[in-house]
Amino acid sequence: MLLDPRSKMIMVICISSLALIYNTPARLLQLLLVTLVLLFIFSFNLRVIAGYLKPFVFLMFFLFVVQSIFSPGDRVILALGPVSLISIEGVLAGATVVLRLLVITAAAMLFTTFSSRDFILGLVQWKVPYEIAFMVSTALRFLPLFRDELKNVLTAIQLRGVDLKKVPWGKKMVMYRRLTFPVVYRNMLKAEQLAIAMEARAFRAYPQRTYLRQLNLQRVDYVVILLSLLVTFILIMRYIG
């Protein structure tokens, strides 16, 4: 569907706000279903969605376990002598946290349907200063670069005969801490070179800037934006009230 990036941004913000406010697994599950339906409308298929969410699975499982154990509750499922370990309330709290995270990450997939450039353009046309929009989008762009750089350094270590899988956790932490410097340093060099390249191309030479392309809100965008805001508002009011 050809929506203005701003409409998609609003949708992501609405869904994320609801996810933060809803506090029961049932509600969040409903929200997750709605989000998935939206993603299908934007022609994502299950495989792609699963692939996108996969890196978060471990984190979510970890959160679920931690929340389940540390949330106090009366209806105990598992106890170690007098100490209650897992309660129904705990499991529900864990499920809430995980579902919330799932909804937000799934909604954020909508961001991948437009370029960072459209993101800038959208914000600028809503009167956000160009520099700020540019900075935000560049920061977003640097995240994958950061990951690549980390991968490079890890490869370099493995090439020197270290088998990362066999390194115990404690040592691994020390190693990662040592890696921070080269990774950050290399990224700073990259950032510096990028800054020079931008400066050489008259970045911020004039306060005014022309844009090759213009984003135009279509009627469907207005409908989507208004509807999203309205529905979110009503849902929040009903949930709180």
Task: Count CA atoms within 13 Å of residue 202 on its CB side.
Answer: 6
Give the integer Cα–Cα distance in Å for 61 and 56: 9
Query: Is residue 151 near another protein by the rule CB under 8 A?
Result: no
Kindly state the smallest distance separating residue 3's Cβ from another protein, in Å. Answer: 19
Rounded to an integer, what is the distance from CA 156 to the centroid of its chain? 29
46/148 with CB nearer another protein:
148
Give the integer Cα–Cα distance in Å for 93 and 74: 13
Query: Is residue 186 near another protein by the rule CB under 8 A?
Result: no
Interface characters, 104-143, with another protein (x: CB under 8 A): -----------xxx-----------------------x--
Give the integer Cα–Cα distance in Å for 215 and 122: 7
27/190 with CB nearer another protein:
190
139/198 with CB nearer another protein:
198
53 in Cβ contact with 39 (< 8 Å): no
Please give the residues from 75 up to 104 whose contact with another protein meets the rule CB under 8 A.
none
Nearest Cα to Cα of residue 175 among 190, 160, 191: 160
Query: Is residue 40 near another protein by the rule CB under 8 A?
Result: no
Kindly state the smallest distance separating residue 214's Cβ from another protein, in Å. Answer: 8
Give the integer Cα–Cα distance in Å for 32 and 53: 13
Tokens encoding 38: 């939206």
90 in Cβ contact with 68 (< 8 Å): yes
Kindly state the smallest distance separating residue 212's Cβ from another protein, in Å. Answer: 4
Tokens encoding 136: 């935000």
Query: Is residue 45 near another protein by the rule CB under 8 A?
Result: no
39 in Cβ contact with 110 (< 8 Å): yes
Kindly state the smallest distance separating residue 106's Cβ from another protein, in Å. Answer: 23
27/186 with CB nearer another protein:
186
Among residues 155, 180, 193, 218, the one that binds another protein under rule CB under 8 A = 193
Please give the residues from 212 up to 241 whose contact with another protein meets the rule CB under 8 A.
212-214
78 in Cβ contact with 40 (< 8 Å): no
70/211 with CB nearer another protein:
211
Residues contributing to the site for another protein (CB under 8 A) = 115-117, 141, 190, 193-194, 196-206, 208-214
